[in-house]
Amino acid sequence: MLSAWKNKDSAVVIGLMSGTSLDGIDAAVVQITSHGMDLESKLLHFETAPYTPDLREALKKLCSQDHSSSAAVCGMNAYLGEHFAAAAQKAAEGAGLKLEDIDLISSHGQTIWHIPERSAQDFFLIPSTLQIGDLSVIAKHTGRMTVGDFRPADMAVGGQGAPLVPFGDLMLFRHPEKGRLLQNIGGIGNCTAIPAGNTSGELLAFDTGPGNMIIDEMVQVLSGGKLSYDDGGVWAAQGNVHEGLVQDLMAHRYFQMAPPKSTGRELFGKSYAAAFMEQASHRGLSDADMIATATAFTACSIEASLRHHVFPVMHIDEVILSGGGARNHELCRMLQERLPEQKIMTSKALGIDEDAKEAAIFALLGYACLQGIPNNIPAATGAKTSTVMGKIALP
């Protein structure tokens, strides 16, 4: 079965992605064609299978040291595998295909914990990461070969296991004459800076900090659970930004670190959002002011990251937004206001759906794995060498 991939220069792959926003499973059906080490892709269909509020809350507990348990992780690993399999089945149908027409499923899984650096306090907490949504469950339920669990391979060769999307950003967005900055705004924000006429060794990528994660958590709390996100940034647009609080938040140690660096709910999750709201309440901010200030914090963290780490070393002609944050008009307005010298657009302007981009990139990562193409970018993750990431589950 695996030997058939050695000379396979075209395949239909379903990429599955669930990010730190914990909003659902993104499924992209992608036609991939290889030209040596270069890959081309065409999006055939995209859809999202939303998590129920109960499942979202259960996953948030798994991302907390105080509320998680081995039994809960064990059970959710298999439970999510079934949900990822169902999402793949539905996506294939949406593309007008049968599962038998799908050559490969490639799943990022759901990150519940990420340790990018060795702990100074606990000898056993070495660099490591955990994504759940069992690959064997997906493979057996769909009857399709499944690739996933990409991050540990990069960490095994000295990287942080993140960010991984620069591999796809390079394939999809490099330009011979334009320097491009790809800024994804999911639960966490991550950027990929690609110089004009680039090579992967010149690429710069890292997590910029919180994306939608804090905004979403505050919206859910302040709306009494009626809302899970600020649709279009409408709530934020009704409030006033407390710049003093934004600057206090920017003193967090993460923003002082140089790349390569990566983060997640371990730093900017539910507890951080609760502390944020407590500070905002003490300063007399209204609910709308809190959402506006959280949105400005995301915009400021992105601006600071680009000005400190990217612009001094690379000329950028275009800043291209993707992820759910690209649909938050108030966040986009704040970014343009903070980066007036930059041309800011969404990936849709270049023909790639803002929400589909990451799932489509994981399709590319899975295809590259089976082709034996190194699919990490050491310049982004800090790995000592290029390597092939991914584990294979047979149907």
Give the other-Cβ count within 10 Å of 183's Cβ.
Answer: 24
Does CATH number 2.40.50.140 belong to domain 3-162+355-393? no
State the Cα torsion 233-239-243-244 to the nearest 10°: -130
Q: What is the pLDDT of residue 20?
A: 87
26 is in an annotated binding site: yes
Q: What is the pLDDT of residue 299?
A: 98
Tens-digit pLDDT string for the chain (395 aa): 677 776 788 999 999 999 988 999 999 999 999 877 788 899 999 999 999 999 999 999 999 877 789 999 999 999 999 999 999 999 999 999 999 999 999 999 999 999 998 999 899 999 999 999 999 999 999 999 999 999 999 999 999 999 999 999 999 999 999 999 999 999 999 999 999 987 666 899 999 999 999 999 999 999 999 999 999 999 999 999 999 999 999 999 999 999 999 999 889 988 999 999 999 999 999 999 999 999 999 999 999 999 999 999 999 999 999 999 999 999 999 999 999 999 999 999 998 999 999 999 999 999 999 999 999 999 999 999 999 999 999 99
> Two tokens at 172?
């999809």
Q: What is the pLDDT of residue 66?
A: 75
Distances (CA, A) of 280 to 74, 270, 277: 37, 15, 5
Rounded Cα gap, residues 335 and 301, in angstroms: 10
248 is in an annotated binding site: no
For the chain, the helix, strand and coil percentages under 3-state DSSP, each to the nearest 5: 45, 20, 35
Distances (CA, A) of 54 to 22, 57, 58, 59, 207: 11, 5, 6, 9, 28
How would you list the strands of the sheet with 318-322, edge to edge? Answer: 204-210, 188-194, 180-185, 318-322, 343-346
19 is in an annotated binding site: yes
21 is in an annotated binding site: yes
State the Cα torsion 140-145-149-154 to the nearest 10°: 160
22 is in an annotated binding site: yes
> Two tokens at 124?
């056993």
Ordered by start, the domain boundaries in the chain are 3-162+355-393, 166-350
287 is in an annotated binding site: no
360 CB-side CA count, 13 A: 26
Residue pair 236/330 in contact (Cβ under 8 Å)? The answer is: yes
Per residue in 241-262, pLDDT (tens digit) is: 999 999 999 999 999 999 999 9
Please indicate whether the domains covering 3-162+355-393 and 166-350 agree at the CATH topology level: yes
347 is in an annotated binding site: no
CATH code: domain 166-350 is 3.30.420.40
262 is in an annotated binding site: no
Q: What is the pLDDT of residue 236?
A: 98
Rounded Cα gap, residues 274 and 268, in angstroms: 10
Q: What is the pLDDT of residue 201?
A: 67
**Helix and strand numbers, DSSP H then E, in the chain:** 14, 12
